[in-house]
C-alpha cells in the first residue's frame, strides 16, 4: 500500500486507477472490487446499486448482469452511467462517468463459464428485479434448473451479459484532515486526457 500527500498528476488516469485498485486489493477486508453503479431512465430518474468490477482494461470497466433487470432496462434506454469506488481503509474514492456498451458474446460466455455452478444456476432461476410471490417459488426454480442441467455444463442465458463503461471523466479523491481533501479530475480530450485539480 502506498501513501501520498496529494494525488499525482499522470498522463494516463487508468494507470493511476490500477495502482489505487492494487492498493485496495491489499488493504480492503471485503470486496475491493465493489462499486456503485448509477443509471437513469430516459427522462433522468436515477437509480444506484452496488455491483462488482469484473474486468479492467485500458478501455474501461466491466461488470455483468441480467439484461432484463431494472438496471438492464435502464442501460438499454440510456447508456450513460456512472461508477463510484470507495475504499475506506485507504480513505480514497474514485468516480467515473461514461457510456456503456455490451461486451462481445464470447467474452460474456468466458466469464459466465468461470462462475460457480450455483451462480450459473441462479442466473437461470431468477427473474431479476421482478415481483416474486414467495421465496419458495424462486427456490423451486433453482431446483428445476439444477435438474435441467444435471450432468452438463450450464450455458449462459441470452438475457445475461456484461457491459463495459468507457470513461470520459475520472475523479480521484484523497481524504485529508479537516476536510481539506485533494481532488483531481481527468477529462477525456481526443485521444488523451486533460486534468484539473478542484477545491474540496
Range 150-158, long-range pairs (CB < 8 A, 24+ positions): 153/113, 154/117, 154/120, 154/121, 154/124, 156/108, 156/109, 156/112, 156/113, 156/120, 156/123, 157/123, 157/124
Q: How many whole angstroms separate alpha carbon 77 and alpha carbon 132? A: 24
Cell numbers that stand for 114 in this block? 468461470
Residue 179 catalytic? yes
The single residue of 115, 135, 156, 179 carrying the catalytic annotation is 179
Do residues 156 and 112 touch, judged by C-beta distance below 8 A? yes
Q: How many whole angstroms separate alpha carbon 73 and alpha carbon 126? A: 16
Do residues 187 and 169 touch, judged by C-beta distance below 8 A? yes
Grid cell 430518474 in the structure block, residue? 45
Please name the helix (run of DSSP H) or strand (run of DSSP E) that holds residue 16, with its range, or none: helix 13-27
Which residues are annotated as catalytic?
Answer: 179
Amino acid at each position: 500500500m502506498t501513501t501520498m500527500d496529494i494525488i499525482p498528476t499522470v498522463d494516463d488516469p487508468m494507470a493511476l486507477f490500477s495502482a489505487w485498485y492494487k492498493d485496495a486489493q491489499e488493504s480492503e477486508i471485503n470486496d475491493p472490487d465493489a462499486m456503485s453503479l448509477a443509471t437513469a431512465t430516459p427522462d433522468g430518474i436515477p437509480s444506484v446499486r452496488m455491483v462488482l468490477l469484473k474486468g479492467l482494461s485500458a478501455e474501461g470497466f466491466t461488470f455483468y448482469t441480467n439484461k432484463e433487470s431494472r438496471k438492464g432496462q435502464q442501460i438499454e434506454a440510456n447508456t450513460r452511467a456512472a461508477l463510484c469506488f470507495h475504499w475506506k481503509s485507504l480513505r480514497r474514492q474514485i468516480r467515473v462517468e461514461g457510456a456503456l456498451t455490451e461486451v462481445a458474446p464470447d467474452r460474456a460466455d468466458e466469464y459466465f463459464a468461470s462462475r460457480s455452478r450455483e451462480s450459473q444456476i441462479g442466473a437461470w432461476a431468477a427473474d431479476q428485479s421482478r415481483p416474486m410471490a414467495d421465496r419458495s417459488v424462486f427456490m423451486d426454480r433453482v431446483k428445476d434448473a439444477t435438474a435441467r442441467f444435471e450432468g452438463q455444463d450450464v450455458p449462459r442465458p441470452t438475457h445475461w451479459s456484461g457491459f463495459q463503461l468507457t470513461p470520459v471523466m475520472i475523479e480521484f479523491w484523497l481524504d485529508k484532515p479537516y476536510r481539506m481533501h485533494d481532488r483531481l479530475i481527468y477529462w477525456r480530450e481526443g485521444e488523451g486526457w486533460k486534468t484539473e485539480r478542484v477545491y474540496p
